[in-house]
Structures are given as C-alpha cells and as structure tokens.
Structure 1
Amino acid sequence: MTGFRELARAAAEATSARPDVPLALATLVQVDGSSYRQPGARLLVDAEGRVLAGAISGGCLEGDVAARAAEVCATGRGVRLMYDLRADLEAIWGFGAACDGIAHLLLEPLPDPRWLADVEAIRSRRGSGAVLTVLDGHGGGSSCAVLDGDAASGTWRPIGNQVHWISGPELMECTRAAQRTGHPLLHDVRDDAAALFIEPLVAPIALHVIGAGRGADAFVQIARALEWEVTVIDHRPAVLAELSLPPDVATHVARYGASLNDSESLNGVLATLPHDGRTAVALLSHIFDVDSAWLTALLPLPVAYIGVLGSRKRAGQLLDAVEVALGANGTALTDRMRHRLHAPIGLDLGGESPASIALSAIAEIEAVIHGRPAGFLRERQSPIHARTPTPRVFEHEGPIVPTECDVGIDDHRERD
C-alpha cells in the first residue's frame, strides 16, 4: 500500500499551487507473476504529466502512466491499463524492464482528492476501514467509497457518484474477508462483468521509544522516514527537553515509581498510547529498574514487539525480576510474552554505532510486523512478495486460504 498520508499531502499541495491542473490516481489492482509493488500501490499524477507522489513500479511505469493522465482527465472516465513486464520493452517504451510479471492498473480522474485525507484520518485513528474500487465491464472503473469501521457495523462514505455498490451481503462478505487477512481483495461479481477491489486500511506502525538518551534520535529519524508514528518517553523531563525532535513526534514524561492513578505513571501514559498488534516498543534507558518497570507494564499488553538494549545475560535478569513483579499482581509470565520480547534488540547487522543499532532494531521490527525471518533475499526459496491468495468469501467456495505463518527471529547478538 502506498501511504495515503503522502498522497493526501501531495494532492493538497498540487491543488493549491496549480488549481487549474486536474489530477489523476493510478491504483495497482492485480499482479500476475513478479512485481516490484503489490496490489494497493498508488500513484498520483496530474494532467500535465507530472508524477506527484507514490509509486506503482520500480520506476519503469510511472512516466507512461503520467503521460496518459491528460486523456483520462479530459474524458472524466477511468481506464484500465495492463503492462506485461515479462517481455523486452525496449522497443515499446524505451526501456527493458524484465520484471517477469504483468501489472494491472486503474487510472482514474481525481476531481476531488479530499477522500485521500479521510482515509488517512481513519488509519491514524487505528480503527478498521477499507477503500472500495469498482472495476466495470467496459475497461474502466473508479474509487467508489471509503468504509469507516468494520464490515459489519462501519459506515460507507461514497466517493463521487458511484454509490450503487455500497450495500449488499456480497460486499460485506468481501470486505470482511479483506479486513480479516489484512490484504487487498479482488473479487469478480457474479452474473456481471464487474469486479470489486477492496483494500483494508491498516494502521501505521506506532513506535514508542523509551529512554531519550544517546541513540534515541537515530530511532526517531529512521522510523519517521518510514512514516511510523513515533513517541519518545522518559522519566527525566530535562533529558527529553534536550532532545531535538521533529514537530510530529510526541513526547511524554513517565515516572516509573508513580502511583497507578497518576497520569504520569507508566500505566497512565500507556493508556493514552497505541498498544495493539501494530505497536512496537524500544527500551533504550539501560537503567535496570526502569526497564524492569516498563516490561512489567508492557508484557501483558498485546503489542507486536518489545526490544530491550543490553546483553543476553541482562535480559535474563530482567525477565526474572518481571516474573516476580507480575506474580505479585497475580499474572503469569507466559511463553507468548517471552516471544514478544527481543533482547538483545535488533538484527545481527554488525554495526555498533547508535545509528547502526537503530537501523538493526527497526529492521527487526519490520520483519516481526510482516512475519518474515529477516534473512538474505537471495537465499529465500519462496516468492519475495508473500501474497495472500484472494480469500474465498462464500461457504460454497471453500475455506479461506491461510496467510503465511509468522516466523520467529533468533538473534544472538549481545550489546552492553
């Protein structure tokens, strides 16, 4: 998925700077074989052939798509494009892509781009949602509606005048399947030449950096480059104040010895922050009591990842202390909790500088969130892009095909 934040921002800037130049949006709806980008990738262009934001390939298709935007904007109708990247395209577009795949795109006019900002707002609230695109039987299509909420109880907001698909059990079942897998779904509609492309809205990764000392700024810079939501937390207000952070990075003071009812207590701060399956925590304080208190508060929560700076020996001592603290509250330290803990933090990349440690930790978070083993791609036997097959959403079609299983990461590096 291309970031809707980037698309919305670029569309707003283009509309302000060149209000008389129409915009167009390309969406990758299907891939056969190998492709640099996957279904749901988007590209924003304008009628003068500018590429404004996003990407739908490794750079080989964007120029041709942008060149077609003027015609689409003039007719006011979307068109479907197919690029066969398996052949030598040197004679066609002046380059040989040799990507060994076929990309199917929808290029549509974008007279009112405000729905892109609506989508980003839904993602930022970390709730369920989806974008519905209808592909008609005449080689066209359009983005039709945005769902705010889950399939069963959410509210569909129409985009433009294409409102006839925003109802019915078929749409509900397709949307439910897409939200359940977290992958876009392309569904052929029975007794019709149309198809539905439904993209679930996945919340951005939230990274909580605990400890504003040396190296925290590197974590922030890399995470923000990935458009993660970043929060920096420390029990020392003066240390937090000295840290130079981008304006969109939040900071919190959390006193690990505070009362549970105190807004600055660990639990009080955590209650105001994301702590779901798209949340990662990096414990960088390297103060034993602080790390122990945070782990006691964090491990029972359903976050995806908790990484702790320090050696393997220190990690074992921390777990011993946390097990005692949890037991005093009537909570057992489970295998699931242990699995979420990554200590020492990061992948074994070999670097030892603060920036290298931040890079290895954030790479590990990416691998954990996406359920990957984080090895060399040249040694991967299965396809690089682990696609989930389109789920079967009706009982007579058979069971849903399971997604790729999560793979744990075994990291043996120690850091002191």
Structure 2
Amino acid sequence: MKEIKAIIKAYNTIPSGTHAALATVVRVEGSSYRRTGARMLVFDDGTWIGGISGGCLEGDALKRARLAINNSRATLITYDTTEDDPHQIGVGLGCNGVIDVLFTPLDLNDKNNPVEILKSCLEASRDTHVLLTITALEGNWDKVATGDVIRYKGRDSLSTLKNPRIETAIFDNVLQQIAENKSAPAQFSADRSSIEIFIEILPPEISVVLMGHQYDVYPMSRLLKELDWRVSVCGDVLKINPQIRNYANTIIPASEFSSLTIDEHTAIVLMSHDYKTDKKNLLRALQTRASFIGMLGPRVRSERIWKELAEEGNPVTKAEMDRIHAPVGLDIGAVTPEEIALSLAAGIKAAFANRNGNFLKFRETPIHPRT
C-alpha cells in the first residue's frame, strides 16, 4: 500500500506536458524479488516511483514504458531469468523466475485510467477491493482493451465485456480468489475469443490501535509509520509524547475508543503497563472485529487477567483466545523499546500473513506460493 500511495502522490503532481506509464507485475512463475501487484510509475523524462524488481529490471522497464507512451498502447513484456541466454534481460541474476510486466500508458484526462482507479480504492472505505487488469485479448472485443482495469463490485461489473460465457467464468474465478484472499492471473476462452486478466485482491492497509500512553508507544508509532500502517493511539492524551503526533493518524482519550473504525484488518495492542487498565481494555478489544489483540507482559500476567474475568462472569472463549497474542511479539531477544517495537510489528505482520515468524532457512517450501 505504501508503494501505491507514493505512486498516487507523484501522479497527482505530474507537471503539464509530462507523459507517464504504469508498469505492473501481473504474473510471476518461480522465484522473483517482487510479487504480483508490484508497480512502477514511469515519466517520459526517465524518472520513476516504485519498482518491479530489486533494481535489476528497472533499466529495461524505463525503455519499455517509454515505448508504451510513444505507441499509446499497453504492452505485456515477459522477463525470463531461467534461461541461460546472454540476450535475455535479467539472465545471471539467479532469481530463476518468469515475470510478466504490463506497461500501460496513462491518459491523464481519463478518470478510468489505472492510477485513477487505484485512487478511488484508497479514497473509499476500508473494504477489500478487487481489480481486474486486462493483460491480453484475442478475438472480438469492442468495449475493452489491453491495459484496462475493471474495479469489480459484483457480477454487473463484468457486463462491459459483452461475452456472457466468459463473464460467468470470470465471476466464478473471482469468487474463488476472494475466498482465498489471493491475487492471481487467469485466462478465459469462449466464442472464438480469449482474455487474460490479473485478478488482484487489494486489502486496506493494516491498522494498529495502541492502547497506552507510556514512552514505548513512541518508538512503536514511529516504526509503524515507516511501514505505512494506520496508527491510532488511545490513552491519556495529556501524558502522550507530543512527538507521536508526527506518526499517529489518530490520538484520542480512552473514553473515545468506540469512535475508532476497527475491522478484521486491525490489530489492537494493550500497552498501558497498568494491570487494571489492560484488563478493562481487553474486554473492550474483544467486543470489536479486530483479528489481532496483543498483550504486553509475561504470560502469567495475562493468565491472571483471564482467570479473573472468568470469575467475574466474563470468560474468554476459545474463539476469542485465538485472537489474543500474549505475550505479544516474536521471540527475537528484544530488550530496548525500539527492539520490542520491532518484535511487536513483526508479530503482527506474521499473524496477518498466516506465518509463524520462524527463520526462513528452516522453511521447507518456497517463501511465496509458486505457479
């Protein structure tokens, strides 16, 4: 999401007379530094924002983007780093993957160009958005072209294709990708026509609510800001470090906790360092849709809170316990507030990615799913 925001910011300030193209990774086979959905905004003066690789493909991407601008036509380019061919861009990098990149020239007057659609997603509510990018077409397609992006909002969003059989097939596939919460390329054929699309599942940014006002809220807010996650601090406003205002999106007193927008993409971290306050805040957190609830302190402290809540008639259920991470964070030997912030942020990311946070050298399968 941080990359998309940077691209939109640069797009919004494009000088008059400047032309631009958007490069998007739409398919990855094998290993690659960047995954599908990685983007790079390229200007005709050679500057760019974002990236489609670790820096090895960007030079050629500049040339491809300029060609797309000059030809006023979207182009799909395949970079193959698996072949031992000295003429192949990327050979010798050791990535051992195949990457499809779509280069789309941007019509700045078109409110449906790819960047404008990304803007509309970010300006909308905290929903998970689904974007369908057309990467290749064969046959009779009068209403759509390669490079077009359809913002999917249901079956009716596909009516512009004017091909009922393909629309049905895409609809079924999109439902599957939504259920799996996974972006993927797909190809469909019917009635002597075929279409290739990149189905992108675009969730909102991770939101983190820090419930506390002690000094360790400051390094945590600063790190989360660097990750471009949404940060809300809920505590005694008069005691909160004033510098936190440079990093937090929202700072409110504990009495206004219910005013926060908390959804399944939200993590709540209880860090007041006060036993009674954390106990009260745990009950508040459990009443929300937050999928991650972290509690600072040793396990025995958390177990004592759960025991007391049960004795008071508010037992923590099995389903609720699955949302609670106590002690919160990954075991990295953190000691200082900054190290603890790193441990907490890494733990939140691992939980949202359904990973265990272990060393990658112990992982027996590829880091990313492969096609």
TM range (shorter): 0.7 to 0.9
Displacement of 1:189: 1.4
| In structure 1, C-alpha distance between the alignment counterparts of 2:92 and 2:84, rounded to whole Å | 5
Mark the CA change 1:382 to 1:282 in structure 2 (over 3 Å): closer, same or farther.
Answer: same
Are the aligned partners of 1:27 and 1:41 in contact in 2 as well (CA < 8 Å)? Answer: yes
| In structure 2, C-alpha distance between the alignment counterparts of 1:35 and 1:133, rounded to whole Å | 20
Please give the residue correspondences for 1:342-361 in structure 2 after superposition, counting only pairs within 5 Å. 342-361=325-344
> What is the aligned-residue RMSD (CA, Å)?
2.6
Displacement of 1:22: 0.8
The CA deviation string for residues 242-285 of structure 1, in whole angstroms up to 9 with x for no partner, is: 34322662111014xxxxxxxx3xxxx23x32332211111110
Are the aligned partners of 1:209 and 1:282 in contact in 2 as well (CA < 8 Å)? Answer: yes
Mark the CA change 1:10 to 1:166 in structure 2 (over 3 Å): closer, same or farther.
Answer: farther
Q: Paired residue for 1:312?
A: 299
Mark the CA change 1:207 to 1:91 in structure 2 (over 3 Å): closer, same or farther.
Answer: same
Are the aligned partners of 1:33 and 1:101 in contact in 2 as well (CA < 8 Å)? Answer: yes
Q: Paired residue for 1:193?
A: 194
Mark the CA change 1:189 to 1:386 in structure 2 (over 3 Å): closer, same or farther.
Answer: closer
Mark the CA change 1:295 to 1:379 in structure 2 (over 3 Å): closer, same or farther.
Answer: same
Please give the residue correspondences for 1:214-229 in structure 2 after superposition, counting only pairs within 5 Å. 214-229=215-230
Are the aligned partners of 2:266 and 2:291 in contact in 1 as well (CA < 8 Å)? Answer: yes
The CA deviation string for residues 173-200 of structure 1, in whole angstroms up to 9 with x for no partner, is: 2332222222113221113232122212
Q: Paired residue for 1:59?
A: 55
Aligned-partner SS, 2:309? helix
Q: Paired residue for 1:292?
A: 279
Displacement of 1:166: 9.8
Q: Paired residue for 1:119?
A: 121
Q: Paired residue for 1:179?
A: 178
| In structure 2, C-alpha distance between the alignment counterparts of 1:241 and 1:156, rounded to whole Å | 47
Q: Paired residue for 1:164?
A: 161
Mark the CA change 1:49 to 1:88 in structure 2 (over 3 Å): closer, same or farther.
Answer: farther
Aligned-partner SS, 2:344? helix
Displacement of 1:361: 0.5
Displacement of 1:300: 4.1
Q: Paired residue for 1:258?
A: none
Are the aligned partners of 1:174 and 1:185 in contact in 2 as well (CA < 8 Å)? Answer: no
| In structure 2, C-alpha distance between the alignment counterparts of 1:10 and 1:310, rounded to whole Å | 43
One-letter identity of the residue aligned with 2:227: L
The CA deviation string for residues 153-212 of structure 1, in whole angstroms up to 9 with x for no partner, is: xx7499xxxx53698433332332222222113221113232122212211111001112
Mark the CA change 1:176 to 1:102 in structure 2 (over 3 Å): closer, same or farther.
Answer: same
Q: Does structure 1 residue 279 correspond to structure 2 residue 274?
A: no
| In structure 2, C-alpha distance between the alignment counterparts of 1:115 and 1:291, rounded to whole Å | 41
Are the aligned partners of 2:39 and 2:52 in contact in 1 as well (CA < 8 Å)? Answer: yes
The CA deviation string for residues 37-79 of structure 1, in whole angstroms up to 9 with x for no partner, is: 2112211111222222x22112111121112212111111111
Are the aligned partners of 2:213 and 2:237 in contact in 1 as well (CA < 8 Å)? Answer: no
Gap runs ≥5 in structure 1: 256-263, 390-416
Gap runs ≥5 in structure 2: 109-114, 139-144
> How many pairs does the alignment contain?
356
| In structure 1, C-alpha distance between the alignment counterparts of 2:287 and 2:52, rounded to whole Å | 39
Are the aligned partners of 1:178 and 1:200 in contact in 2 as well (CA < 8 Å)? Answer: yes
Q: Does structure 1 residue 20 correspond to structure 2 residue 17?
A: yes
Mark the CA change 1:166 to 1:302 in structure 2 (over 3 Å): closer, same or farther.
Answer: farther
| In structure 1, C-alpha distance between the alignment counterparts of 2:268 and 2:212, rounded to whole Å | 11
Q: Structure 1 stretch 26-35 or stretch 125-134: which is displaced more?
A: 125-134
| In structure 1, C-alpha distance between the alignment counterparts of 2:46 and 2:366, rounded to whole Å | 34
One-letter identity of the residue aligned with 2:127: G
Are the aligned partners of 2:225 and 2:247 in contact in 1 as well (CA < 8 Å)? Answer: no
| In structure 1, C-alpha distance between the alignment counterparts of 2:247 and 2:322, rounded to whole Å | 34
Q: Paired residue for 1:5?
A: 5
The CA deviation string for residues 207-260 of structure 1, in whole angstroms up to 9 with x for no partner, is: 0011121111111111111111110000x23113634322662111014xxxxx
Which of structures 1 and 2 has the larger relative contact order (alpha carbons within 8 angstroms, sep 6+)?
2
Please give the residue correspondences for 1:12-411 in structure 2 after superposition, counting only pairs within 5 Å. 12-13=12-13, 15=14, 18-52=15-49, 54-87=50-83, 92-93=88-89, 96-112=92-108, 113-122=115-124, 125-137=125-137, 141-147=146-152, 149=153, 151=154, 156=157, 163-164=160-161, 168-191=167-190, 192-234=193-235, 236-240=236-240, 242-246=242-246, 249-255=249-255, 264=256, 269-270=257-258, 272-325=259-312, 327=313, 332-386=315-369
Aligned-partner SS, 1:135? strand
Aligned-partner SS, 1:71? helix
One-letter identity of the residue aligned with 2:12: A
More helix by share: 2
Mark the CA change 1:366 to 1:203 in structure 2 (over 3 Å): closer, same or farther.
Answer: same
